[in-house]
Amino acid sequence: MLTGSRPTVLSWLAPPRLVPLQHLTGPQQMALDVLLLEESMCAAEPVPALRFCQSKHPWISLGWNQRIWPQHWNHLVDQGRLDLVRRPSGGAAVLHVGGLTYGLIWPAGPQSRRKAYQVTCAALVRACRCNNITLKTGSEPVNPLAPHCFASATAADLLDETGIKRIGNAQFWRRGKLLQHGELLLDPDRALWQDVFEEPAPKVGYSKIRAENLAEEIALELARVVDKDGRRAHDEPLTTAERYHISKQAVLYDLRDECIEKAHTESSVRSVAVIESTTCDKARPNG
Protein backbone atom coordinates (compact mmCIF):
# COMPACT_ATOMS: atom_id res chain seq x y z
CA MET A 1 0.00 0.00 0.00
CA LEU A 2 1.38 3.41 -0.89
CA THR A 3 2.21 5.73 1.96
CA GLY A 4 -0.16 8.66 1.77
CA SER A 5 -2.42 6.90 -0.72
CA ARG A 6 -6.15 6.27 -0.45
CA PRO A 7 -7.25 4.92 2.96
CA THR A 8 -8.43 1.38 3.43
CA VAL A 9 -12.19 1.20 4.03
CA LEU A 10 -14.47 -1.71 4.76
CA SER A 11 -15.99 -3.10 1.57
CA TRP A 12 -19.52 -2.98 3.04
CA LEU A 13 -19.09 0.78 3.48
CA ALA A 14 -17.55 1.54 0.12
CA PRO A 15 -18.93 0.84 -3.35
CA PRO A 16 -16.52 0.21 -6.25
CA ARG A 17 -14.03 2.96 -6.92
CA LEU A 18 -14.20 4.81 -10.24
CA VAL A 19 -11.12 6.72 -11.31
CA PRO A 20 -12.45 9.57 -13.50
CA LEU A 21 -11.58 9.49 -17.21
CA GLN A 22 -7.84 10.07 -17.61
CA HIS A 23 -5.71 11.17 -20.55
CA LEU A 24 -2.51 9.22 -20.03
CA THR A 25 0.28 7.71 -22.09
CA GLY A 26 0.32 3.97 -22.69
CA PRO A 27 3.02 3.22 -20.09
CA GLN A 28 1.18 5.34 -17.53
CA GLN A 29 -2.03 3.41 -18.15
CA MET A 30 -0.30 0.09 -17.53
CA ALA A 31 1.34 1.45 -14.39
CA LEU A 32 -2.08 2.65 -13.20
CA ASP A 33 -3.65 -0.77 -13.71
CA VAL A 34 -0.91 -2.55 -11.81
CA LEU A 35 -1.03 0.03 -9.01
CA LEU A 36 -4.78 -0.48 -8.56
CA LEU A 37 -4.23 -4.24 -8.48
CA GLU A 38 -1.45 -3.93 -5.90
CA GLU A 39 -3.61 -1.67 -3.72
CA SER A 40 -6.32 -4.29 -3.86
CA MET A 41 -3.88 -7.00 -2.82
CA CYS A 42 -2.62 -4.97 0.15
CA ALA A 43 -6.01 -3.84 1.44
CA ALA A 44 -7.56 -5.66 4.40
CA GLU A 45 -10.96 -5.30 2.73
CA PRO A 46 -10.26 -4.76 -0.98
CA VAL A 47 -12.69 -2.73 -3.05
CA PRO A 48 -13.25 -3.22 -6.81
CA ALA A 49 -11.90 -0.42 -9.00
CA LEU A 50 -12.58 0.88 -12.50
CA ARG A 51 -10.63 3.27 -14.67
CA PHE A 52 -11.07 4.68 -18.17
CA CYS A 53 -8.43 6.37 -20.30
CA GLN A 54 -7.94 7.97 -23.66
CA SER A 55 -4.46 8.22 -25.07
CA LYS A 56 -2.36 11.34 -25.34
CA HIS A 57 -0.42 9.69 -28.16
CA PRO A 58 -0.99 6.55 -30.30
CA TRP A 59 0.54 3.40 -28.84
CA ILE A 60 0.71 -0.32 -29.36
CA SER A 61 0.46 -2.60 -26.36
CA LEU A 62 2.08 -6.03 -26.57
CA GLY A 63 0.95 -9.03 -24.55
CA TRP A 64 3.35 -9.95 -21.76
CA ASN A 65 4.75 -12.95 -23.65
CA GLN A 66 4.95 -11.28 -27.06
CA ARG A 67 8.68 -10.82 -27.54
CA ILE A 68 8.81 -10.48 -31.33
CA TRP A 69 7.13 -7.77 -33.40
CA PRO A 70 7.46 -6.46 -36.97
CA GLN A 71 10.63 -4.50 -37.64
CA HIS A 72 8.81 -1.57 -39.19
CA TRP A 73 7.13 -0.87 -35.84
CA ASN A 74 10.54 0.11 -34.49
CA HIS A 75 10.87 2.73 -37.21
CA LEU A 76 7.37 4.08 -36.54
CA VAL A 77 8.40 4.52 -32.92
CA ASP A 78 11.68 6.14 -33.96
CA GLN A 79 9.72 8.56 -36.17
CA GLY A 80 7.58 9.55 -33.19
CA ARG A 81 4.36 8.24 -34.70
CA LEU A 82 3.55 5.87 -31.85
CA ASP A 83 4.85 4.26 -28.66
CA LEU A 84 5.34 0.57 -27.93
CA VAL A 85 4.26 -0.67 -24.51
CA ARG A 86 4.36 -3.96 -22.60
CA ARG A 87 1.07 -5.08 -21.01
CA PRO A 88 1.03 -7.13 -17.81
CA SER A 89 -1.74 -9.22 -19.42
CA GLY A 90 -1.48 -11.66 -22.30
CA GLY A 91 -2.86 -11.58 -25.81
CA ALA A 92 -1.81 -10.08 -29.12
CA ALA A 93 -0.83 -6.53 -30.05
CA VAL A 94 -3.41 -3.74 -29.75
CA LEU A 95 -3.21 -0.36 -31.46
CA HIS A 96 -4.64 2.24 -29.10
CA VAL A 97 -5.74 5.26 -31.10
CA GLY A 98 -9.13 6.94 -31.31
CA GLY A 99 -10.65 4.51 -28.82
CA LEU A 100 -11.45 4.04 -25.15
CA THR A 101 -9.37 1.88 -22.83
CA TYR A 102 -10.82 0.50 -19.62
CA GLY A 103 -9.33 -1.30 -16.64
CA LEU A 104 -11.15 -3.36 -14.01
CA ILE A 105 -9.86 -4.63 -10.67
CA TRP A 106 -12.06 -7.41 -9.30
CA PRO A 107 -10.73 -8.69 -5.96
CA ALA A 108 -13.46 -11.28 -5.33
CA GLY A 109 -14.40 -12.32 -8.83
CA PRO A 110 -15.09 -15.84 -10.07
CA GLN A 111 -11.99 -18.00 -9.93
CA SER A 112 -12.42 -18.90 -13.58
CA ARG A 113 -11.12 -16.92 -16.53
CA ARG A 114 -14.01 -18.06 -18.70
CA LYS A 115 -16.67 -17.08 -16.15
CA ALA A 116 -15.05 -13.70 -15.56
CA TYR A 117 -15.07 -13.01 -19.28
CA GLN A 118 -18.69 -14.13 -19.58
CA VAL A 119 -20.05 -11.79 -16.93
CA THR A 120 -17.89 -8.79 -17.87
CA CYS A 121 -18.65 -9.17 -21.58
CA ALA A 122 -22.37 -9.33 -20.78
CA ALA A 123 -22.00 -6.06 -18.87
CA LEU A 124 -20.13 -4.47 -21.78
CA VAL A 125 -22.87 -5.58 -24.17
CA ARG A 126 -25.55 -3.95 -22.00
CA ALA A 127 -23.56 -0.73 -21.70
CA CYS A 128 -22.93 -0.47 -25.42
CA ARG A 129 -26.58 -1.15 -26.19
CA CYS A 130 -27.41 2.07 -24.35
CA ASN A 131 -25.24 3.86 -26.92
CA ASN A 132 -26.92 2.13 -29.87
CA ILE A 133 -24.05 -0.32 -30.32
CA THR A 134 -25.18 -3.94 -30.66
CA LEU A 135 -22.49 -6.49 -29.77
CA LYS A 136 -22.14 -10.23 -29.34
CA THR A 137 -19.36 -12.49 -28.08
CA GLY A 138 -16.86 -14.06 -30.46
CA SER A 139 -16.51 -17.79 -31.01
CA GLU A 140 -13.13 -18.33 -32.67
CA PRO A 141 -10.43 -20.45 -31.01
CA VAL A 142 -7.35 -18.69 -29.68
CA ASN A 143 -4.99 -18.02 -32.58
CA PRO A 144 -1.40 -17.49 -31.40
CA LEU A 145 -0.44 -16.50 -34.96
CA ALA A 146 -2.94 -13.64 -35.22
CA PRO A 147 -1.02 -10.50 -36.29
CA HIS A 148 -2.92 -8.33 -33.81
CA CYS A 149 -5.71 -8.48 -31.25
CA PHE A 150 -8.48 -7.33 -33.59
CA ALA A 151 -7.63 -9.94 -36.24
CA SER A 152 -9.54 -12.66 -34.36
CA ALA A 153 -12.36 -12.83 -31.82
CA THR A 154 -12.59 -15.43 -29.08
CA ALA A 155 -15.26 -15.77 -26.40
CA ALA A 156 -13.35 -13.06 -24.51
CA ASP A 157 -14.08 -10.50 -27.23
CA LEU A 158 -17.09 -8.69 -28.67
CA LEU A 159 -18.21 -8.30 -32.28
CA ASP A 160 -20.74 -6.02 -33.92
CA GLU A 161 -23.65 -7.13 -36.11
CA THR A 162 -21.41 -7.24 -39.19
CA GLY A 163 -18.91 -9.57 -37.52
CA ILE A 164 -16.23 -6.93 -36.97
CA LYS A 165 -14.47 -7.06 -33.62
CA ARG A 166 -15.13 -3.94 -31.54
CA ILE A 167 -13.83 -4.80 -28.08
CA GLY A 168 -10.75 -6.82 -27.21
CA ASN A 169 -10.17 -7.90 -23.59
CA ALA A 170 -7.24 -9.38 -21.70
CA GLN A 171 -6.69 -10.61 -18.14
CA PHE A 172 -3.94 -10.75 -15.56
CA TRP A 173 -4.44 -12.67 -12.32
CA ARG A 174 -2.42 -12.35 -9.12
CA ARG A 175 -3.25 -14.17 -5.89
CA GLY A 176 -6.80 -14.78 -7.04
CA LYS A 177 -7.46 -11.12 -7.84
CA LEU A 178 -8.30 -10.08 -11.38
CA LEU A 179 -7.02 -7.25 -13.51
CA GLN A 180 -8.95 -7.10 -16.77
CA HIS A 181 -8.50 -4.38 -19.32
CA GLY A 182 -9.63 -3.84 -22.86
CA GLU A 183 -9.88 -1.52 -25.84
CA LEU A 184 -13.08 -0.26 -27.46
CA LEU A 185 -12.67 0.80 -31.08
CA LEU A 186 -14.43 4.10 -31.72
CA ASP A 187 -12.65 6.11 -34.41
CA PRO A 188 -9.23 4.61 -35.26
CA ASP A 189 -6.67 6.54 -37.29
CA ARG A 190 -7.06 4.78 -40.64
CA ALA A 191 -3.71 5.87 -42.07
CA LEU A 192 -1.78 4.79 -38.98
CA TRP A 193 -3.66 1.48 -38.79
CA GLN A 194 -2.68 0.77 -42.41
CA ASP A 195 0.96 1.62 -41.73
CA VAL A 196 1.09 -0.51 -38.58
CA PHE A 197 -0.80 -3.63 -39.64
CA GLU A 198 -0.51 -3.23 -43.43
CA GLU A 199 -4.26 -3.71 -43.80
CA PRO A 200 -7.29 -1.37 -43.83
CA ALA A 201 -8.70 -0.27 -40.49
CA PRO A 202 -12.10 -1.66 -39.48
CA LYS A 203 -15.04 0.47 -40.59
CA VAL A 204 -16.28 1.35 -37.15
CA GLY A 205 -18.54 4.35 -37.64
CA TYR A 206 -18.63 5.31 -33.95
CA SER A 207 -16.88 8.67 -34.28
CA LYS A 208 -19.94 10.56 -32.98
CA ILE A 209 -20.13 8.56 -29.76
CA ARG A 210 -18.77 10.47 -26.79
CA ALA A 211 -16.20 8.45 -24.87
CA GLU A 212 -17.36 10.04 -21.62
CA ASN A 213 -20.93 8.80 -22.11
CA LEU A 214 -19.79 5.31 -23.03
CA ALA A 215 -17.46 5.16 -20.03
CA GLU A 216 -20.32 6.17 -17.75
CA GLU A 217 -22.55 3.36 -19.02
CA ILE A 218 -19.77 0.78 -18.81
CA ALA A 219 -18.91 1.85 -15.27
CA LEU A 220 -22.56 1.48 -14.28
CA GLU A 221 -22.88 -2.04 -15.70
CA LEU A 222 -19.51 -3.34 -14.51
CA ALA A 223 -20.11 -1.98 -11.00
CA ARG A 224 -23.34 -3.94 -10.82
CA VAL A 225 -21.37 -7.08 -11.61
CA VAL A 226 -18.40 -6.66 -9.28
CA ASP A 227 -20.18 -5.17 -6.24
CA LYS A 228 -22.00 -7.73 -4.11
CA ASP A 229 -24.82 -5.24 -3.55
CA GLY A 230 -24.92 -4.02 -7.15
CA ARG A 231 -24.11 -0.44 -6.19
CA ARG A 232 -22.92 2.30 -8.51
CA ALA A 233 -19.22 3.10 -8.53
CA HIS A 234 -18.23 6.37 -6.86
CA ASP A 235 -15.75 8.84 -8.32
CA GLU A 236 -12.42 8.85 -6.53
CA PRO A 237 -9.63 10.74 -8.32
CA LEU A 238 -6.04 9.61 -8.17
CA THR A 239 -4.15 10.89 -5.15
CA THR A 240 -0.89 12.80 -5.39
CA ALA A 241 0.96 9.73 -4.13
CA GLU A 242 -0.68 7.54 -6.76
CA ARG A 243 0.17 9.95 -9.57
CA TYR A 244 3.78 10.07 -8.41
CA HIS A 245 3.96 6.27 -8.27
CA ILE A 246 2.51 5.98 -11.78
CA SER A 247 5.04 8.45 -13.18
CA LYS A 248 7.91 6.45 -11.67
CA GLN A 249 6.66 2.99 -12.62
CA ALA A 250 5.62 3.80 -16.20
CA VAL A 251 9.15 3.19 -17.45
CA LEU A 252 8.77 -0.52 -16.63
CA TYR A 253 6.25 -0.87 -19.46
CA ASP A 254 7.83 1.52 -21.98
CA LEU A 255 9.61 -0.17 -24.92
CA ARG A 256 10.43 3.06 -26.74
CA ASP A 257 14.19 3.05 -26.10
CA GLU A 258 14.44 -0.61 -27.13
CA CYS A 259 12.56 0.11 -30.36
CA ILE A 260 14.72 3.11 -31.24
CA GLU A 261 17.90 1.12 -30.59
CA LYS A 262 16.66 -1.69 -32.85
CA ALA A 263 15.62 0.78 -35.54
CA HIS A 264 19.06 2.38 -35.60
CA THR A 265 20.79 -1.01 -35.55
CA GLU A 266 18.69 -2.21 -38.50
CA SER A 267 19.45 0.99 -40.41
CA SER A 268 23.18 0.56 -39.79
CA VAL A 269 23.09 -3.06 -40.93
CA ARG A 270 21.27 -2.10 -44.13
CA SER A 271 23.76 0.69 -44.80
CA VAL A 272 26.70 -1.69 -44.44
CA ALA A 273 24.98 -4.24 -46.68
CA VAL A 274 24.44 -1.61 -49.39
CA ILE A 275 28.06 -0.47 -49.23
CA GLU A 276 29.39 -4.02 -49.42
CA SER A 277 27.13 -4.92 -52.34
CA THR A 278 28.23 -1.91 -54.39
CA THR A 279 31.97 -2.06 -53.62
CA CYS A 280 34.15 -3.83 -56.18
CA ASP A 281 36.39 -6.34 -54.44
CA LYS A 282 38.79 -6.57 -57.39
CA ALA A 283 41.48 -4.19 -58.57
CA ARG A 284 40.28 -1.53 -60.96
CA PRO A 285 41.07 -2.70 -64.53
CA ASN A 286 43.58 -0.71 -66.54
CA GLY A 287 42.66 1.07 -69.73
Residue pLDDT, tens place only, 60-109: 999 999 999 999 999 999 999 999 999 999 999 999 999 999 999 999 99
Per-residue pLDDT tens digits for 189-236: 999 999 999 999 998 777 778 899 999 999 999 999 999 888 999 999
What pTM was computed for the model? 0.87
Condensed to tens digits (0 to 9), the pLDDT of residues 79-91 reads 999 999 999 999 9
**Cα–Cα distance list, 67 to 36, 59, 93, 207, 226 (Å):** 25, 16, 11, 33, 33
- Which of 127, 108, 263, 257 minimizes the C-alpha distance to 178? 108
Q: Is the dihedral of CA 190, 191, 197, 198 positive or negative?
A: positive
**Domains in the chain: boundaries:** 17-248
Q: Is 17-248 assigned to CATH 3.30.930.10?
A: yes
